[in-house]
Amino acid sequence: MKFEKCTLTEAKKQLVFFLFFRSTLQKNDIYYQLASEQINEIISHNPKIKEIDILNLQIKLNNFIQSI
């Protein structure tokens, strides 16, 4: 997947998707590593995404998962 041409909003949506997908996996699962690589790709090609944005997304995602 190419993230070089993503808008910031699009990149954040993709980031949420991969964070959610990764949260459903165990760390020894091959897909966990693939999701982590995609997350790193998104972050590296979208420097406007700050660490605080990522942490906020992870917190919101974790709260959402716990509410289910």
pLDDT digits (tens, 9 = 90+) for 15-47: 999 999 998 899 999 999 999 999 999 988 888
CA pair distance 66, 53, nearest whole angstrom = 20
Token pair belonging to 43: 């972050």
The gap from C-alpha 49 to its chain's centroid, in whole angstroms, comes to 11
Residue 19 burial (10 A CB sphere; 0-12, 13-18, 19+): buried
C-beta of residue 18 within 8 angstroms of C-beta of residue 42? yes
Q: Indicate whether 56 pLDDT > 80.
A: yes
pLDDT for the residue numbered 2: 67
Q: What is the pTM of this model?
A: 0.80
**What kind and span of H or E run contains 19?**
helix 8-23
